[in-house]
Amino acid sequence: MTRPLVLHPDRLFPAESRTRDIARALHAGVRDLPIVSPHGHTDPAWFAYDQPFADPAALLIVPDHYVFRMLYSQGVPLDALGVPTEDGSPTEADPRAIWRLFADHYHLFRGTPSRLWLDWVFAEAFGIEVTLEPATADLYYDRIAAALATEAFRPRALYERFGIEVIATTESPLDPLDHHRVIRESGWRGKVVTAYRPDPVMDPEAPGFADNLRRFGAIAGEDIATFAGYLRAHENRRAHFRAAGATSTDHGHPSAFTADLSRADIEALYARVLAGPVGPAEAELFRGHMLTEMARMSIEDGMVMQLHPGVYRSHNPAVLARFGRDKGADLPVAGEFVRALKPLLDRFGNDPRLTLILFTLDEDVYSRELAPLAGHYPALRLGPPWWFHDSPEGMRRFRERATETAGFYNSVGFNDDTRAFLSIPARHDVARRMDCAFLARLVAEHRLEEDEAHELAHALAYDLAKKAYKL
Amino acid sequence: MTRPLVLHPDRLFPAESRTRDIARALHAGVRDLPIVSPHGHTDPAWFAYDQPFADPAALLIVPDHYVFRMLYSQGVPLDALGVPTEDGSPTEADPRAIWRLFADHYHLFRGTPSRLWLDWVFAEAFGIEVTLEPATADLYYDRIAAALATEAFRPRALYERFGIEVIATTESPLDPLDHHRVIRESGWRGKVVTAYRPDPVMDPEAPGFADNLRRFGAIAGEDIATFAGYLRAHENRRAHFRAAGATSTDHGHPSAFTADLSRADIEALYARVLAGPVGPAEAELFRGHMLTEMARMSIEDGMVMQLHPGVYRSHNPAVLARFGRDKGADLPVAGEFVRALKPLLDRFGNDPRLTLILFTLDEDVYSRELAPLAGHYPALRLGPPWWFHDSPEGMRRFRERATETAGFYNSVGFNDDTRAFLSIPARHDVARRMDCAFLARLVAEHRLEEDEAHELAHALAYDLAKKAYKL
Amino acid sequence: MTRPLVLHPDRLFPAESRTRDIARALHAGVRDLPIVSPHGHTDPAWFAYDQPFADPAALLIVPDHYVFRMLYSQGVPLDALGVPTEDGSPTEADPRAIWRLFADHYHLFRGTPSRLWLDWVFAEAFGIEVTLEPATADLYYDRIAAALATEAFRPRALYERFGIEVIATTESPLDPLDHHRVIRESGWRGKVVTAYRPDPVMDPEAPGFADNLRRFGAIAGEDIATFAGYLRAHENRRAHFRAAGATSTDHGHPSAFTADLSRADIEALYARVLAGPVGPAEAELFRGHMLTEMARMSIEDGMVMQLHPGVYRSHNPAVLARFGRDKGADLPVAGEFVRALKPLLDRFGNDPRLTLILFTLDEDVYSRELAPLAGHYPALRLGPPWWFHDSPEGMRRFRERATETAGFYNSVGFNDDTRAFLSIPARHDVARRMDCAFLARLVAEHRLEEDEAHELAHALAYDLAKKAYKL
């Protein structure tokens, strides 16, 4: 019962025929625009050294927490999926066995965005013409493995084939940015920029924080024994990141809490943080104050800030102990921004030189807080639907709940936010289709003129990301 | 201006014609499947003794809190609806007068699921062909009363006519389960199982808790003076319930809070609980720890756990004093699961032998916490939309908000959760139609293939409930 | 590229043709009903003295916080928009310059309700036939300015042309209600009533509270040194307001918190409030108790209560310092009603003589708390979607989330809640269209009969507001 794998040209468009016709026309105008990927987690080493990807499982399953968390939730052990362990004890090493296990459970992804992305990768990137199921597992494995051995599937070739104009990676201040240097010096015309993610040296609860701080001082060439030196280290590393193309910073905090302490208070707090360890309240206070310092530096150096709050990281201690962080056990918690951001906004919210892009995993906050905030403060913009909400329904709810209060122009286009390189065009494709579907409904309901919708579709697919992220 | 009462064959399907055609085809494949009712509140005495129902009001109005709360909200006294009082003081005793009052206010139910269920009961169960309104009140009363006097409207006949394959009731550990024994011993082929609902002996704030504990020890034949004896009493009663067909437990807690105390701490807490009364914090701690104990027992004896948290019970003291509990004055409060469930999940969340089915009345939690939790932990599954959300829009929002992150296979099909026996087929009908409507949209938008949708429609209507509840 | 400005007759109706046909038919039955505006902020002086409006900017931009907050969010200074300052320092004084700046940024409103309202004002009220854009800014300015100089654009003429049957303004107890007296004595047949908004004398955190209390005693002719005198002052002013046509009170509290203190406790608290200032907790307690007192008075004098909670007012200190309150920097916070309202409901929730209309800016609360509350307590009704949710999507979500549990008849029709007088017909038009669209979907999905939908459309557009507000 093998079925053909077909990506329908009208996929994700509303079924109602007038609306679908409008959506099609809008999409035709943006389908082939270059991809601007201002926030993500691809590995710069791929583009620096342009080596082939290892095998189908290592490319598409083992590193993709969307994929293995779903299988895990249905009782498939992470060991059997080849997820590497913290202590190096072996897990499944046969990529074909991993692939077959994945194929056995592919029906679990029905109705999920992973299914949309993966089917795009199979059909468009690899040209496979039948659906994935147990009977076609080996066919898939062989086809993908063979493709990966070709020049056409090297990272740079894919970058070019995917029509990427610019892609941002995300690095710690402790990263020497060597891969980015290699890329720049290689003469390749691809544009791979970094982004400054200082959590490892800004979050007293980060693993290895004390050691991170020492390395931070060393790499920055600053004495971080004082708060002034610590701030200079940030300024130094930010300058280094900007030289490597960075236009943004990123902050993955447990909450959106900010603070604006007096100089004396923050110096005293920094001393305690440096002596460490501090308790959760002081850690939160330090992170919160440092967001305000980051905003100040952003006004000075022009880097755009991104805040991704509201995640309870590594919720599952057994998975954390055996497999480490980022293994699908991160969970959203309730969001609050209006009170949390006030200290930062009191200082810098009215300064149009600052752009602070807000993300949430608590959708109730879209209409309750985020759209009202972004519809007032010049410094605020709304990031696209994030993580679990980077999905057709998530995108629809975001536009429906945020647009009426914040408008379209306080949003910043799409982020793919992924390390799954092959899925990047699929993710932008979903976003473009869903934005066109939303705009088409507004046109079909006579709430927007069609020429305006075309202009907006272009803005949402391309212009707003370039502008907000200064790319 | 009496109108014909017609149940349109396309009711609840989207109006758009391609989507409707798909929905119709999907529904044709599941419409006649047997009803699996794994969680509800019908009275096992009905099936044990198969006596006729008393009269139209006693069957359809007096016990239905959805019905009388709506009339009460518009100023109709509960006395006039014949709701019995705590002190036995009389209320309206004429069922025809109650029925006429209900008919006078039937327009209040426009747009509500009660209207859908009741119209199904009137049209399908009783074959009435005009709508209910003041002018037809007596016609309705007479038709229903006449039907109830016939053999065809005895509980067992209705069970068979409704195509019920299995139905679960819910009992306290203090219940001797005599009705279930009578059913089993009767030779009737209907399958009526119980479920273990230990709130009366697990919640120190339950009415009559101290007395309940004493009776619990007695019925279980255990000395509950120690925590060990108290646990043995649970184990004993659970075994007794399993022998009466139970495959599940149910827990109606004020919150999803769990705890995992040391043996010394829980023994000390139990001693205070036993001495009683304890304050709200200790009561919460006791309930929370006992959920973890229940999970442990479930791993041992295979019973599926259900958690129904987040209700402020008996909010209205005047209604409570006169009419008692469960009189439409229970109200939802904000939900939180990620932090609340962590102690239990730390112990048992990775064990696929445990199935813990989660329910909520706070819809924001679907996408924020429940779908991310169920999409990771092997032990977790998502219950269907509950209570106020057991409705077309509630079901639509549940699928739209939960599916992309948890998939379909981490949900467990439908629960009717009702004591309104005659409405059971109507409720399953609404659920099947809404699931088919959701699947039809995915197919019409080319997000799912039609053969997959057929398989899923079957799973959502039948297979998943049987599997999750081990029925 | 100037485009014609056309208000499509099917605007806001679903595109699907059967549903649209039903929506059209429903709308035809309510389109021309008189406007009942039971809650708003128009200036009674307009109707008392019937003077011409000053100029296009002063009419449509400078006082409209929806408009200037959006421009401000994109970096346009409030100074450049002519927003007056607290200290009287000058801002832009040329209305044509303000208008041009507005026209330059009119694209920001795409997808927002402001765009729908403004286009209605341009097309219907002023008869302009091209869209607003930079190239047509002067044409617009001249057309509007010319119209405002005519008799047809005086407030009373507009009131009549708009088909307003009754409109409520909102006044402080300190207001002598002279404008309303002038209106009544003028012989004009328009009906302009006031509403009692006691926040300035009930909220110890209100600006100038101590002085307000003194003036309150003076205007009421009561000695407010004791709590008994303070209550008599309210009773006195409420009677005065009722004589000026008031049928309602309105309460804009930070939360829905209520309290029901003993007489001794409230007298002691009042003494501290009178001596002032008190801290936030005592201010909240005082406000909360006074809501219960207001409910008691409402039962005595028949005035309908409105509660608008959950706003963090004047979040932006820089904007507050320069431009004062109500300048687009008010932000919603999370809502909670079930626990908050319990003290008031314990006293008066079962009394059908009380009508307490609830509003929220936290949409999750619609289905979680508000609909369940209003579907039980005789004293409660649901206000329409408020403020940021007075929009097509906001209205759709309100009906989808509240109707199944509360029904239609526990809602109270539409409030325009605006000081933007010219937009009032546009706002009612949006509400009527969206209600018809919602009802049309129910009919198209066979969840409601068409004759019922007609009756409901009439109720939602007209009857329910008149009934709930006793107008």
SS (H, E, C) chain A: CCCECCCCCCCCCCCCHHHHHHHHHHHHCCCCCCEEECCCCCCHHHHHHCCCCCCHHHHHCCCCHHHHHHHHHCCCCCHHHCCCCCCCCCCCCCHHHHHHHHHHCHHHHCCCHHHHHHHHHHHHHCCCCECCCHHHHHHHHHHHHHHHCCHHHCHHHHHHHCCEEEEECCECCCCCCHHHHHHHHCCCCCCEECCECCHHHHCCCCCCHHHHHHHHHHHHCCCCCCHHHHHHHHHHHHHHHHHCCCCEEEECCCCCCCCCCCHHHHHHHHHHHHHCCCCHHHHHHHHHHHHHHHHHHHHHHCCEEEECCCEECCCCHHHHHHHCCCCCCCEECCCCCCCCCHHHHHHHCCCCCCCEEECCCCCHHHHHHHHHHHCCCCCEEECCCCHHHCCHHHHHHHHHHHHHHHCCCCECCCCCCCCCHHHHHHHHHHHHHHHHHHHHHHHHCCCCCHHHHHHHHHHHHHHHHHHHCCC
Q: Cβ A112–B403 below 8 Å, yes or no?
A: yes
**Distance between CA C13 and CA C15 in Å, rounded?**
6
Question: With contacts defined as CB-CB under 8 Å, which chain C residues touch B391?
Answer: 404-405
Mean pLDDT of chain C: 97
Q: Does C325 touch chain A (CB under 8 A)?
A: no
Q: How confident is the model at residue A455 (pLDDT cuts 50, 70, 90)?
A: very high
Predicted confidence (pLDDT) at residue A179 exceeds the cutoff of 90: yes
Task: Return the pLDDT at B2.
Answer: 81
Determine the distance in angstroms separating the CA of B71 from the nearest CA of chain A, rounded to an integer. Answer: 31
Q: Cβ C376–B316 below 8 Å, yes or no?
A: yes
- The answer for A 344-363 residues in CB contact with B (under 8 A) is 361-363
Q: Which of B377, B404, B409 sits opposite A391 (nearest CB)?
A: B404
Name the token pair of B228: 């060990």
Q: Does A335 touch chain C (CB under 8 A)?
A: no
Report the pLDDT averaged over residues C406-415: 98
Q: Does C20 touch chain B (CB under 8 A)?
A: no
Question: With contacts defined as CB-CB under 8 Å, which chain A residues touch B378?
Answer: 72-75
CA torsion sign for B12, B16, B19, B21 is: positive
Q: Does A371 touch chain C (CB under 8 A)?
A: yes
pLDDT in tens, chain B (471 residues): 688 999 999 999 999 999 999 999 999 999 999 999 999 999 999 999 999 999 999 999 999 999 999 999 999 999 999 999 999 999 999 999 999 999 999 999 999 999 999 999 999 999 999 999 999 999 999 999 999 999 999 999 999 999 999 999 999 999 999 999 999 999 999 999 999 999 999 999 999 999 999 999 999 999 999 999 999 999 999 999 999 999 999 999 999 999 999 999 999 999 999 998 999 999 999 999 999 999 999 999 999 999 999 999 999 999 999 999 999 999 999 999 999 999 999 999 999 999 999 999 999 999 999 999 999 999 999 999 999 999 999 999 999 999 999 999 999 999 999 999 999 999 999 999 999 999 999 999 999 999 999 999 999 999 999 999 999
Q: Which of B380, B444, B449 sits opposite A3 (nearest CB)?
A: B449
Q: Does A302 touch chain B (CB under 8 A)?
A: no
Question: With contacts defined as CB-CB under 8 Å, which chain B residues touch C406?
Answer: 73
Name the token pair of A419: 């390390």
Q: Which of A374, A380, A452 sits opposite C110 (nearest CB)?
A: A452
Q: Cβ C11–A446 below 8 Å, yes or no?
A: yes
- Mutation to test the A interface, candidates B350, B398, B411, most A Cβ within 10 Å: B350
Question: With contacts defined as CB-CB under 8 Å, which chain B residues touch A75?
Answer: 352, 378
Q: Which domains does chain C have, with CATH numbers?
A: 17-51+154-468 (3.20.20.140), 53-153 (1.10.2020.10)
A394-A398-A399-A400 Cα dihedral, nearest 10 degrees: 100
User: What is the tens place of the pLDDT at every residue in C312-323?
Assistant: 999 999 999 999
Q: Cβ B364–A364 below 8 Å, yes or no?
A: yes
Determine the distance in angstroms separating the CA of A132 from the nearest CA of chain B, rounded to an integer. Answer: 13
Q: Cβ B111–C403 below 8 Å, yes or no?
A: yes
Predicted confidence (pLDDT) at residue A1 exceeds the cutoff of 80: no
**Distance between CA B57 and CA B148 in Å, rounded?**
12
User: What is the tens place of the pLDDT at every residue in C16-64?
Assistant: 999 999 999 999 999 999 999 999 999 999 999 999 999 999 999 999 9
Q: Does C108 touch chain A (CB under 8 A)?
A: yes
Under DSSP, is residue B436 helix (H, G, I), strand (E, B) or coil? helix
Q: Does A448 touch chain C (CB under 8 A)?
A: yes
Q: How confident is the model at residue C1 (pLDDT cuts 50, 70, 90)?
A: low
Q: Cβ B331–C376 below 8 Å, yes or no?
A: yes
Under DSSP, is residue B468 helix (H, G, I), strand (E, B) or coil? helix
Question: With contacts defined as CB-CB under 8 Å, which chain B residues touch C350?
Answer: 316, 318-319
- The answer for C 217-236 residues in CB contact with B (under 8 A) is none
Mean pLDDT of chain A: 97
Q: Cβ A317–B346 below 8 Å, yes or no?
A: yes
Q: Cβ C3–A449 below 8 Å, yes or no?
A: yes
- C114: nearest CA in chain A? A404
Q: Cβ B352–A72 below 8 Å, yes or no?
A: no
Chain B touching partners, 3 or more CB pairs below 8 A? A, C
Q: Does C371 touch chain B (CB under 8 A)?
A: yes
Report the pLDDT averaged over residues A229-256: 98
Chain C touching partners, 3 or more CB pairs below 8 A? A, B
Name the token pair of B389: 């959300």
Report the pLDDT averaged over residues C362-380: 98
Q: Does B254 touch chain C (CB under 8 A)?
A: no
Task: Return the pLDDT at C2.
Answer: 81
Q: Cβ B441–A15 below 8 Å, yes or no?
A: yes
**Which of the pair, C222 or A276, is modelled with greater confidence?**
C222
CB pairs under 8 A between B and C: 128
- A406: nearest CA in chain C? C70
Chain A touching partners, 3 or more CB pairs below 8 A? B, C
Q: Does B4 touch chain C (CB under 8 A)?
A: no
Determine the distance in angstroms separating the CA of B222 from the nearest CA of chain C, rounded to an integer. Answer: 40
- Mutation to test the A interface, candidates B376, B411, B412, B458, most A Cβ within 10 Å: B376
**Distance between CA A347 and CA A299 in Å, rounded?**
11
List Cβ neighbours of C189 (8 Å cut-off, separation of 6 or more): none
Task: Return the pLDDT at B1.
Answer: 60
Q: Cβ C346–B317 below 8 Å, yes or no?
A: yes
pLDDT > 90 in chain A, percent: 99
- Mutation to test the A interface, candidates C120, C315, C366, most A Cβ within 10 Å: C315
DSSP string, C201-243: HH-TTSTTHHHHHHHHHHHHT--TTSHHHHHHHHHHHHHHHHH
Q: Which of B70, B317, B362 sits opposite C368 (nearest CB)?
A: B362
Is ipTM beyond 0.95? yes
